[in-house]
Amino acid sequence: MATELARISPSTSRRILGTGTLGALGTLLILLVFFRTPPTIPAVLMLLVLGFLALGLCVAFYRATVLGLVLTEQELVDTSGRLLARIEDIHRVERGFLAFRPSNGFSLHLKTSQPRAWAPGLWWRFGRRIGVGGVISGAEGRAMADLIGALIARGKEGWPS
C-alpha cells in the first residue's frame, strides 16, 4: 500500500453552508412560481427547471463533499479510491492569484487528456486539466499543491524515492 502524504477533507461547516445555499436557491426559485406569478408559461417552466436543477445540484454537492482527497507518492485519489491523476501524468501545478482554479484550491495540468468527471464542491476534471478546491481549507489546498509540485520536481530531476 502506498504511503499517504496528504489528505484534504471538507469541513462540516463549509458543507452545510454550501448545501444550504443551493437548497435555498432551488426552493426559492420553485416558490417564486407559486407566490409571484410570472407573466408567461415559458417563465414558469424556466423557474421550475432551474429550481429543480439547483435542488439536484444540492444533493450531488452533499454526496460529493462526504469524500476527501488523498495524495500518495504515485497518485491523487479520492477517499472512495477513484483516481484523479497519477503523479507521473501531472505536468505542472497552478495556484497563483490569476490561475483558473476553484476557490481555496489549485489546478493541475496533465500530460494526457483524461475523461471528464466532477465532484461538485471538491474537484473537477476536463480534458488535460483538474481543479481541486471549493469547500476545502485554503491551508490544506496550499500544502497539497506544494507537495504535488515537489513530487513533480523529484520526478523531473530523477531523485531517488
pLDDT, tens digit, for every residue of 38-96? Answer: 678 888 899 999 999 999 999 999 999 899 999 998 899 999 989 999 999 999 898 87
Please give the grid coordinates belonging to residue 43.
Answer: 417563465
- Supply the pLDDT for residue 160: 54
**CB neighbour burial string for 85-101, b if at least 16 within 10 angstroms, e if fewer:** bebeebeebbbeeeeeb
Most trustworthy range by pLDDT among 47-51, 105-109, 111-115, 136-140: 47-51
- The answer to whether 18 touches 121, Cβ cutoff 8 Å, is yes
For residues 113-136, give the mean pLDDT: 91
What are the cell numbers at 46? 424556466
Strand partners, 114: 127
pTM, full prediction = 0.81
Q: Domains of the chain: which residue ranges?
A: 4-64, 87-157
